[in-house]
């Protein structure tokens, strides 16, 4: 009897402790300092310069050894393609795509290149529980397929919908996305293949800090040509890829509702509870189960004892 009471006391106190931890132990969110990468490289994309020639797509395909596309890169019918009403997205066969937009009020279309923006504080990296992602000092967000378990949380976490899953090999999970040509070029200080291929220099490669200066200069120098914002300077804590546009960014399909704080800041409190849940809940619910099945268990042992006695 004394044994039963003590077990109940333990369960009670553990339940109380869990509830207390869950409800009272929430740390107040402190201002998050985005890690500074003083030598971080980046690319400044000037949407007013892009002519939609898709040279960047072709260069990426060759550099990364991606499969041959269904249509040649000179075929501009791809701009009209829609998948579930959406314009083209990056997938396992292409790490970058150029999409066409027809913003109201301007005569000619605008083109926007889509690829990983290589965030300063990447949400994919924060969300990955096996640390498959790395932010390198050069600015690239790279991925290690050897440790990936294929949970695809990074795909949900990314505010730009960039990481894509190789569905053709689900048993050898692999996430595919732009890696800033890290191994082949960036590590050596060379620009990525897409930048080198761009005829219009719509893509300018350099140190992120300098690119911001250049961006401000273009906005100042060419009065009225650009909207007064460098997209990516502050979005989700800042990205290595930065954008200039002549029309508001939402008109070229960019999400302008993103916070200036890294995604990590919004989920930090919740993510802090996850390990606790993983350690406390199994013990807690095992205890509940034992408690609930105690009578049944006691009953069955009683029957056993009765049988033993009757024999």
Partner 1 sequence: MKLWSTYILIFGLPLWTMVSSAYAGAIDVDIPENIFIDYMVELYEGVTLDHAMHADLFDCGSCHHHTTGARSLNDFCAHCHADSPASDDVSCSSCHEKNTGAFHCLPAGETASVYHIDKPGLKGALHLQCLGCHRDEGGPTGCQECHAFTSKGRKRFALEDLPRKN
Please give the C-alpha separations between residue 248 and each of 13, 80, 110, 270, in angstroms, as whole numbers: 57, 22, 12, 34
SS (H, E, C) 90-121: CECCECCEEEEECCCCCCCCEEEEECCCCECC
Rg of the chain taking only CA atoms, in angstroms: 27
Nearer Cβ to partner 1, position 197 or 263? Answer: 197
Nearer Cβ to partner 1, position 199 or 299? Answer: 199
Q: What tokens does 173 get?
A: 């999970």
Nearer Cβ to partner 1, position 69 or 287? Answer: 69
Q: Minimal distance in Å, beta carbon 205 to partner 1?
A: 7
Nearer Cβ to partner 1, position 146 or 221? Answer: 221
Q: Minimal distance in Å, beta carbon 229 to partner 1?
A: 18
Nearer Cβ to partner 1, position 34 or 196? Answer: 196
Nearer Cβ to partner 1, position 136 or 266? Answer: 136
Alpha helices in the chain (DSSP H): 2-24, 55-63, 123-127, 153-157, 193-197, 208-221, 263-292, 294-310
Q: Minimal distance in Å, beta carbon 190 to partner 1?
A: 5
Supply angle C-alpha 174, 153, 162, rounded to 5: 65
Q: Minimal distance in Å, beta carbon 41 to partner 1?
A: 9
Supply angle C-alpha 53, 187, 148, rounded to 5: 90
Q: Residue numbers of the site for partner 1 (CB under 8 A)? A: 49, 51, 53, 58-59, 61-62, 68-69, 71-74, 108, 189-191, 196, 198-201, 204-207, 210, 213-214, 217-218, 221
Q: Minimal distance in Å, beta carbon 202 to partner 1?
A: 8
For residues 163 and 84, give the distance between their C-alpha atoms in angstroms, rounded to a whole number: 18
Q: Minimal distance in Å, beta carbon 69 to partner 1?
A: 5
Give kind and range of the element (H or E) at residue 187: none
Nearer Cβ to partner 1, position 205 or 249? Answer: 205
For residues 156 and 207, give the distance between their C-alpha atoms in angstroms, rounded to a whole number: 29
Neighbours of 161 (CB within 10 A): 13
Helix, strand, or coil (residue 110): strand
For residues 100 and 78, give the distance between their C-alpha atoms in angstroms, rounded to a whole number: 9
Q: Minimal distance in Å, beta carbon 222 to partner 1?
A: 8
């Amino acid at each position: 009897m004394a044994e039963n009471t003590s077990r109940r006391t333990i369960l009670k106190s553990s339940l109380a402790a869990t509830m207390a931890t869950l409800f009272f132990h929430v740390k107040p969110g402190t201002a998050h300092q985005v890690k500074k990468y003083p030598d971080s490289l980046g690319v400044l994309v000037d949407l007013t310069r892009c002519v939609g020639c898709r040279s960047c797509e072709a260069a990426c395909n060759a550099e990364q050894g991606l499969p041959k596309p269904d249509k040649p890169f000179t075929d501009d019918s791809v701009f009209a393609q829609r998948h579930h009403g959406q314009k083209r997205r990056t997938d396992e066969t292409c790490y970058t795509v150029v999409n066409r937009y027809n913003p109201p009020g301007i005569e000619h279309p605008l083109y926007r290149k889509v690829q990983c923006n290589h965030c300063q504080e990447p949400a994919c990296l924060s969300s990955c529980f096996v640390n498959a992602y790395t932010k390198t000092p050069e600015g690239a967000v790279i991925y290690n397929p050897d440790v990936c378990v294929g949970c695809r949380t990074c795909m949900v976490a990314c505010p730009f919908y960039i990481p894509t899953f190789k569905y053709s090999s689900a048993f050898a999970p692999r996430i595919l996305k732009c890696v800033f040509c890290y191994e082949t070029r960036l590590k050596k200080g060379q620009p990525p293949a897409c930048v080198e291929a761009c005829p219009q220099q719509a893509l300018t490669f350099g140190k992120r800090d300098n690119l911001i200066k250049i961006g401000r200069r273009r906005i100042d120098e060419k009065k009225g040509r650009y909207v007064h914002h460098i997209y990516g300077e502050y979005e989700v804590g800042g990205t290595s890829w930065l954008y200039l546009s002549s029309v508001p960014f939402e008109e070229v399909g960019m999400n302008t509702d993103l916070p200036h704080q890294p995604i990590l800041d919004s989920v930090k409190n919740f993510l802090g509870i996850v390990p606790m849940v993983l350690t406390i809940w199994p013990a807690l619910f095992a205890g509940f189960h034992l408690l609930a099945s105690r009578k049944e268990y006691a009953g069955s042992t009683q029957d056993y004892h009765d049988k033993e006695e009757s024999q």
